[in-house]
Structure 1
Amino acid sequence: MSRPLAPLLQLVRQGAVFGAVGLAATLTHVLIALALEGLAGVEALLANLIGYTCGIGVSYLGHARLTFGAPSRNAAQFARFLAVTFFGLGLNQLIVWVCVHRIGWPFWAALVAVVLLVPGPTFVLAKLWAFRRPSA
């Protein structure tokens, strides 16, 4: 009976761990971005870019080891991960630009939109492409 549920349970576990690792990477990103923008007066898009970049290491190591149980020393996998990350960054920057510069939201509100909209597509790309297992 548990056999048919195993793939679903693995997906749920991966989703939960992806969320936890993503939260750690996002906190790294957001805290650095807010500090740069609020305390150092760095422009919102640059502060966001620097914060996002700081979260990449947390994200890759956490997702490779914890989320997907993949080796962290794999150049091809890291390159795919970077492609997913840059897709996420592009989506992230687009959301910040639209929210801050077009709609007029405060930077913190744009970051809330980022946190709500970016993880879903990046999980799918990470699972199905960046950290995919080689076929037997």
Structure 2
Amino acid sequence: MRFALVGIVVAATYVALYLLFMAVGLTQSLSNAGAFLLAVALQYVGQAGFTFGAKLSDAPQATRFGLMICCGLITSALITGVFGPGIGLPNWLSAVVVTVVLPFQNYLIMTRWVFLTPGKRVDATQ
């Protein structure tokens, strides 16, 4: 539940920031990049501190989190740029597939690698 709650808050924050940045006159690229980077920072704080009870100031953990984000970008690019068009999905449906796949991918990576410390089993179901 905690993982899902943080995910919902992060997604809503991204949308709100993107629209805010567009409303104040930033370009689409800057609005997207700014909203994305701030949402990722919020995601790290929320998932590390709230979901997994991990320290925020753990450089190796933060690096693993950054690599997880890169994996998400690759997955997103593959779905929207290769697989979706390859099987004839419209762009909107490819984007929906990304929003379904990435939470599962991120959950697996977070619980099995990013926030897993030796001798500690991660429980994000609370």
Deviation at 1:54, TM superposition (A): 2.5
* 3-state SS of paired residue (2:116): coil
Amino acid at match of 2:97: A
Q: Which residue of 2 aligns with 1:105?
A: 91
Percent identity for Structure 1 against Structure 2? 26
SS at match of 1:71: coil
Normalising to structure 2: TM-score of the pair?
A: 0.70
Q: Does 1:20 align with 2:18?
A: no
Instruction: Give 1:29's aligned residue.
Output: 14
Distance 1:116 1:122, change over 3 A: same
Match of 2:59 in 1: 75
Residues 86 and 131 of structure 1, relative CA distance in 2, 3 Å threshold? same
Instruction: Give the drift of 1:97.
Output: 3.9
Distance 2:81 2:32 in 1: 10
Stretches of structure 2 that go unaligned for 5 or more consecutive residues are: 121-126
The question of whether the paired residues in 2 share the 8 Å contact of 1:70 and 1:131 is answered with yes
Offset at residue 47 of structure 1 (A): 5.9
**Shift, 1:29, TM fit:** 2.4
Which residue does 1:60 correspond to in 2? 44
Q: Give the structure 1 partner of residue 123 of structure 2.
A: none
Q: Per the alignment, in what secondary structure is the counterpart of residue 2 of structure 2?
A: helix
The alpha carbon displacement at 1:117 in A equals 1.8
How many pairs does the alignment contain? 116
Deviation larger for 24-33 or 74-83: 24-33
Assess, with a 3 A threshold, how the Cα gap between structure 1 residues 61 and 130 changes in structure 2: closer, same or farther. same
1:135 deviates by 2.8
Q: Choose from 15, 28, 34 the match for 1:42.
A: 28
CA–CA separation in structure 2 for the residues paired with 1:110 and 1:47: 22
Between the two structures, name the one with larger relative contact order (CA 8 Å, sep ≥ 6).
2
* Cα distance in 1, alignment partners of residues 33 and 117 from structure 2: 30
TM-score, scaled to structure 1: 0.66
CA–CA separation in structure 1 for the residues paired with 2:66 and 2:57? 14
